[in-house]
Amino acid sequence: MRPWEGRRRKGRAVEIERLMNSIKIGNATIDGEHRALFECLQEINAHLCDKKGEKTFAACKRLMKMLEAHFESEEEILHTAGFPRLDRHIGMHHEIRESLRQAFTACRQACRNNQPTKCLPDLTFILVDHFLRGDMDYKSHLQMVNMANENG
């Protein structure tokens, strides 16, 4: 490893940690799943940097499966909590699924051929946008019904 690579990796870890703290819901299940999704994004980034197209695409497929599982558990938690805007939140999940399908379709061949791609920024934007716009919407409700806490 070159001397500057360690600083860059540490800097990315700090950035991820800051991001995780800014989107923290306070529910251990949801926060853990959010962290796992970002770790998968980091893996995708590492494969892109190393020009490992097939591994990149495999990690992207894994991200989709993880996201599906996250949506299911999140919807169940929100249903149990009696979240009043659950239908709208589920609708957001459907929109995200479609956005991700489009992103993966556009990037599939580029990943496999180790060509430059803008997949990672697209994937990151889709997830962060949902966490900030969608998931922050229910944070206070989960706290109110004792299904989340600030120390999470």
Q: Tell me how far apart the alpha carbons of residues 39 and 51 are, in angstroms, rounded to a whole number.
A: 18
Contacts by 144-151, CB closer than 8 A, 24 or more apart: 145/81, 145/82, 147/27, 147/77, 147/80, 147/81, 148/25, 148/26, 148/27, 148/30, 149/26, 150/26, 151/26
pTM value is 0.81
Q: Which residue has the higher pLDDT, 9 or 146?
A: 146
Q: Which of 30, 21, 27 is nearest to 146 (CA)?
A: 27
One-letter amino acid identity for 22? S
97-126 pLDDT, tens per residue?
Answer: 998 888 887 777 777 676 666 777 888 888
pLDDT of residue 12: 58
Here the tokens at position 103 are: 């992103």
Q: Tell me how far apart the alpha carbons of residues 37 and 23 are, in angstroms, rounded to a whole number.
A: 13
Q: Tell me how far apart the alpha carbons of residues 144 and 119 are, in angstroms, rounded to a whole number.
A: 37
